[in-house]
Every structure is written in structure tokens, then in C-alpha cells.
Amino acid sequence: MDKLTWNRLSKLALTEKVCLSWGLLFLILSSGSTLIFPQLTRWLIDFVLTPKNYELLLPAVIGIFCAFVLMGVAGSLRYFFFTLSGERMVLNLRRELYKKILAQDISFFDKNRTGDLMSRLSSDCTTLQNTVSVNVSMGLRNLAQVLGGFAFMFYTSWKLSSLMLLMIPPIALSTLFFGKKIRVLSNDFQGSLAQASVVADETISGIRTVKSFVQELNEVNRYNSRLENALDKAQKRVKTIALFMTVAMLVGFGSISFVFWYGGHQVVTGALSIGDLTQFLLYLMIVAIGVGSLGGLWGDIMAGIGASKRVFDIIEQRPFLNDSGKKINDLLGSIEFKNVSFSYPMRTNVDVLKNITFKINPGEMVALVGPSGSGKTTIGSLIPRFYEINSGEILIDGENYKNYNPFSLREYVGLVSQEPVLISSTIKENICYSNSKALDEEVYAAAKAANALEFIESFPEGFNTLVGEKGIQLSGGQKQRIAIARALLKSPKILILDEATSNLDTASESLVQEALNRLMKGRTTLVIAHRLSTIKEANKIFVIDKGEIVQTGTHEELASNHDGLYYHLLQRQFS
């Protein structure tokens, strides 16, 4: 284990030091009573049974019984304290991890796949929980018993013990050999199982595509072939484990037979008592069981350390944006881009925006038009500072927006995105997402203004209708209207509408457009639209092509320039 992991884990353990100290106390008690038991057995044999000393029988048995009770109670309490502290530690860790994931910048989510983050949150945390709660305490218990058992074996008969020591190298070597092999095979097996899950995940979340191309059978086969691969790995692993068990059993029983033979000699010659021999055998078994499970635990602990690395790597990752900078009390809403260039962090070699310069005055409505992939959505996502620009400046109310607290800035920016995502809750909660304190009347008014009231009230449950995961139970246009209502309720100073009406039919579009026109009053609005009919009213139109602004002007100005891109876009749309 490297120093970093050690530091992280010990810091984690310190948060539960009281609970862990109790656990440690009971660990010592339970291991101690386990180690006393063979002594009591020897005593019973040598002082009660062999000399037929009947009056001592009851006290001896009571003594042994008490040791058992202590062993049981202390063992349970050890389990209780270690497991409880483990659960608590990992729960806190999981909470922290989730908080940290949500705090990351948007670019973080471009880099890390959802599935990977989910597995850190669920299976890695669970593995870690097992390690800190069960494996570590079992490991310590076994270690104490192995060391203690060894000491008592030597104390009982150093000759027999020294001979037993000869058995250690072959045992250690075979454990090492098999252990490594089993670990590799286990990892292989987990890996191929994960591969199968990836297939299932893709298929189930894309079930509509699968069904529309009638690919069910193919998908089942694809899944099956991954499963067979996993089964293959599992078979190899099971075979190796079975072989290991055979070897371990041969060595173990061989040693016991040897002790019977050699120890038996010593008993016959009087060098050892029957009680000594029995005691020795019991210690040998304690040590053997301890060593055996330590081998298995070692693998588990290693897996836990791996998992902790994956969890801590994210927890310690600091988002670029933090809660510093000037808080905004009031915003007029002017936006100015000065020579802004930008490329996405995951694709730094492609310049998505090149030297973009424009100015939008407070309260103006400006439209961005341009071919698909030209960078319109990208411009929209720079304003709430989802990404950092490579060069140039963005000024909000005449001040470099990096001086503002980013979260405070986002409070003033409303975004209706191209693919609105709803949370799996009710319509009302989705609208209130931007403002949880909104009154019912306000929610109603927002829905009405977004032209969503009609369809909401047509549902039997009205505003309490559940929308399903990601809003799957609503149509595209309905989702868009909910998203508009949500933005309305936030009442932002800067409004970015990214194709907000693209999923609506002409009739509802004009109604929503009306609502939007109302909404845009007194706000700076950036409208991104393919449908040029919706942007005729814009104060200014920026035509963007391949990341550059190629034309600026009003609809009339641009439409009259027959060489310009805008005119071509118009032509294409109305031909």
C-alpha cells in the first residue's frame, strides 16, 4: 500500500476512532479467549481426566464454558463495533463522493462516463465498506490468533514447533502462487462480467432503437456471448481454487498426521503429556485456520485498496470553478464577447469557436443562426460558464465574467436547452426546479405563459402527474413547454433559448412564441433557432458558420444580401 492510500484510509478511520477502539478492545478479548481454550483443554486432560480427579471436573468444565461465553460475546461485540463504524465511514464517504461528483465542472462529465461514475458510487463504495468493516477486523483477529497460536505452540513444544516451521515455506509458496493466479482470474471474471453489463445497459437504455431495428435476438446473443466468456473465466477460477484446496488440505492433514506420529512418540517416551499434545494440535488448527483465511482476506483487502483509490481520486479532484468571486446583487444583462476562441477540453485540436466578437445590450433579443455544428449551442453554454474559454474575454455588464462568483452568475441565467431533461418526479416539481419556494399560483401562471396549461390539465392528475424517468411519459413538445415554464419561473435576467420551440407544431409554436415574447421583455435574450420564422423580430441576428460570425444585422438587412449565408439558409428553408 502506498503512502497516499495509507494516509487517506487512516484519516478515514480516525473519524470513527471511538467505535474502532471499542472494536479493538473486544478483538483482543475474543482472540485472547480463543487462545486460552487449548490451555484449558490441556488442563482438563492432564489434571482432571488422566488422574481421574472427579471433583475438579465441574469447575474445569465451567471454566471452559466461561471461555466460550467470553469468546462468543467478545466476538459479537467486535463484529458489531467494526461493522458499524465501517458502515458509517463508507456512508459518509459515499455522501462526500456524490457531493464532489456534482460539484465538478461540466467538462468533467465529458471525460468520465456515467457508468464509470455510477460504479464508483455503488460497487467501489460497497467493496470498500466490506474491507473496512469486515475484512480488516477479521484480518486483525486472524493475525492475533496466528501470532498468539505460534507463541503457544513453541511454549508447548519447541521441538514439534520447529519441525512445523519447516512446513511454512512450501505452504507460503503455494499460497503465493495460487493466490496470485486466483486474483488474476477473479479480476478477469469481474472484467468480463462488467463487459456483459455494459451490453445490457446499452440495450436497455436504447430499447426503442433496438426494437425499431428488430435487434432483440442479436442483442440477446451479444449478451450471451459476453456471459459465456465470463463463465469460461469463472470455470478457470473455480478449477484453480479447487486445486488449491486439495493442496492445502493435503498439507494440512499431512501436518496433523505428522504431529500424531512424532508427538505420539514423545507421549510414549514421557517427554510430552496427552494434554500437551492435544493443546499443541488445537493451536496448530487455530494457526492453520488463521493462515488460510488471511490468504483470502489479503485479496479482499487489496481489492478494497483498489476501490478506495478510485473513490478518493474523485473526492480529491478539485473543480476548476469554486465558490469565490463577486456575488451579483443586480444585473442589467449586457453580454459582450471579445475575440473569444474556444475548443472543448476533450477535443482540444478542434477550434469550435474562433475570434467571436459581439455585443448584446440589456433587454435586447438577439438570434444566433447557422448550420448544424457551427457552434451555436457552444456559445450558449459559455455564458453560464460551463466551460472555460481558451482566449479572449466575456464581459457581463461590462465586467469580465470571471470576476463574478460563478454560482451567483448562474442564478441570473436561464437556459432552455436543446434537449430538455426533466427529473423523474411530478410536473409541478419539474416546473419548481428553478425555484422551490414558488407559490402554486406562480407555478400555474408559468405553465399558462408557457402554453403548457392545456395539456397539463388534460391529465387526470394535473400538476401532480409523474413524468417518468427523464420525462419519458411526455411528448417532446410537452417537455419543451415544461422546460420553458421552468425558465419562466426563475425569471432570469439573461435568457438562452436553444431551439426551444423546435419540437412544437406551428400552432403551438406561435402560442409559445407569444409567451416567449412576453417573457423576453426586460431580459437579455439569446435565441438559437433553425426556424427562421421565429427570429424575425430579433434586434440583431448573428449568422455563425464553422465557429465564426460571418454576418450580423437585422432580418431585413441580412435577407436582402443575396450573397450571404443567411439568404441561403432562408432560401433552403422556404424552397
Ligand X SMILES: Nc1ncnc2c1ncn2[C@@H]1O[C@H](COP(=O)(O)OP(=O)(O)OP(=O)(O)O)[C@@H](O)[C@H]1O
Q: Please calculate the CA angle 147-49-287 and round it to the nearest 5 degrees.
A: 15
**Alpha-helix runs per DSSP H in 44-135:** 57-103, 106-111, 114-119, 125-130
Q: Between 155 and 320, whose beta carbon lies closer to ligand X?
A: 320
> Which pairing describes strands 335-342 and 494-498: parallel, antiparallel, or unpaired?
unpaired
Neighbouring CB atoms inside 10 A of 259's CB total 18
In the block, cell 457581463 appears at 396
Q: In angstroms, what is the minimal distance from the CB of 546 to ligand X?
A: 9
The answer to whether residue 378 forms part of the interface with ligand X (CB under 6 A) is yes
| Count of positions on this chain that bind ligand X (CB under 6 A) | 14
Q: In angstroms, what is the minimal distance from the CB of 15 to Mg ion?
A: 45
For residues 317 and 104, the answer to whether their CB atoms sit within 8 Å is yes
Rounded to an integer, what distance in angstroms lies between the CA atom of residue 74 and that of residue 25?
Answer: 9
For residues 108 and 35, the answer to whether their CB atoms sit within 8 Å is no
Q: In angstroms, what is the minimal distance from the CB of 353 to ligand X?
A: 8
For residues 341 and 392, the answer to whether their CB atoms sit within 8 Å is yes
- Specify the amino acid at residue 395: L
Burial class (CB in 10 A: 0-12, 13-18, 19+), 347: exposed
Q: In angstroms, what is the minimal distance from the CB of 500 to ligand X?
A: 12
- Specify the amino acid at residue 299: G
The answer to whether residue 372 forms part of the interface with ligand X (CB under 6 A) is yes
Q: In angstroms, what is the minimal distance from the CB of 2 to ligand X?
A: 33
Q: In angstroms, what is the minimal distance from the CB of 367 to Mg ion?
A: 13
Rounded to an integer, what distance in angstroms lies between the CA atom of residue 411 and that of residue 494?
Answer: 10
For residues 113 and 285, the answer to whether their CB atoms sit within 8 Å is no
Q: What is the CA radius of gyration of the chain?
A: 36
Q: What is the x/- site pattern for ligand X, positions 324-353, by CB under 6 A?
A: --------------------x-xx----x-
Q: In angstroms, what is the minimal distance from the CB of 238 to Mg ion?
A: 52
The answer to whether residue 41 forms part of the interface with Mg ion (CB under 5 A) is no
The answer to whether residue 377 forms part of the interface with ligand X (CB under 6 A) is yes
Q: Which does 361 bind (CB under 5 to 8 A by kind): ligand X, Mg ion, none?
A: none
Q: In angstroms, what is the minimal distance from the CB of 370 to ligand X?
A: 6
Closest residue to Mg ion in the complex (CB):
377
Q: In angstroms, what is the minimal distance from the CB of 373 to ligand X?
A: 4
Q: Between 102 and 346, whose beta carbon lies closer to ligand X?
A: 346
The answer to whether residue 373 forms part of the interface with ligand X (CB under 6 A) is yes
The answer to whether residue 377 forms part of the interface with Mg ion (CB under 5 A) is yes
Q: Between 146 and 369, whose beta carbon lies closer to ligand X?
A: 369
Among 17, 95, 99, 110, binds ligand X (CB under 6 A): 110
CA neighbor of 375 nearest in space, from 544, 519, 244, 522: 544
Q: In angstroms, what is the minimal distance from the CB of 344 to ligand X?
A: 3
For residues 195 and 227, the answer to whether their CB atoms sit within 8 Å is no
The answer to whether residue 129 forms part of the interface with Mg ion (CB under 5 A) is no
Q: Which does 346 bind (CB under 5 to 8 A by kind): ligand X, Mg ion, none?
A: ligand X
> Starting from the edge strand earliest in sequence, which strands make up the sheet with 353-360, in order?
353-360, 335-342, 391-396, 399-400
The answer to whether residue 451 forms part of the interface with Mg ion (CB under 5 A) is no
The answer to whether residue 375 forms part of the interface with ligand X (CB under 6 A) is yes
Q: Which does 373 bind (CB under 5 to 8 A by kind): ligand X, Mg ion, none?
A: ligand X
For residues 513 and 365, the answer to whether their CB atoms sit within 8 Å is no
The answer to whether residue 97 forms part of the interface with ligand X (CB under 6 A) is no
The answer to whether residue 83 forms part of the interface with ligand X (CB under 6 A) is no
Q: Which does 11 bind (CB under 5 to 8 A by kind): ligand X, Mg ion, none?
A: none
- In three-state form (DSSP H/G/I as H, E/B as E, the rest C), the secondary structure along 372-441 is CCCCHHHHHHHCCCCCCCCEEEEEECCEEHHHECHHHHHHCEEEECCCCCCCCCEHHHHHHHHCCCCCHH
Q: In angstroms, what is the minimal distance from the CB of 418 to Mg ion?
A: 5
Q: Which stretch binds ligand X (CB under 6 A): 153-161, 204-212, 376-384, 556-564?
A: 376-384
- State how far the alpha carbon of 375 is from the alpha carbons of 108, 356, 386, 541, in Å: 20, 11, 14, 15
Q: Between 449 and 527, whose beta carbon lies closer to ligand X?
A: 527
Q: Which grid coordinates belong to 193?
A: 462480467
Rounded to an integer, what distance in angstroms lies between the CA atom of residue 182 and that of residue 377?
Answer: 50
Q: What is the x/- site pattern for Mg ion, positions 310-349, by CB under 5 A?
A: ----------------------------------------
The answer to whether residue 501 forms part of the interface with Mg ion (CB under 5 A) is no
Q: Between 418 and 435, whose beta carbon lies closer to ligand X?
A: 418
Q: Between 161 and 377, whose beta carbon lies closer to Mg ion?
A: 377
Three-state secondary-structure class, residue 279 = helix
Question: Computed from CA positions of residues 278, 280, 283, 285, in that sequence, does the dihedral angle turn out positive or negative?
Answer: negative
Among 226, 237, 376, 479, binds ligand X (CB under 6 A): 376
Q: What is the x/- site pattern for Mg ion, positions 395-434, by CB under 5 A?
A: -----------------------x----------------
Q: Between 186 and 418, whose beta carbon lies closer to Mg ion?
A: 418
Residues 406 to 445 in contact with ligand X, rule: CB under 6 A? 418
Residues that bind Mg ion (CB under 5 A): 377, 418
Residues that bind ligand X (CB under 6 A): 110, 344, 346-347, 352, 370, 372-378, 418
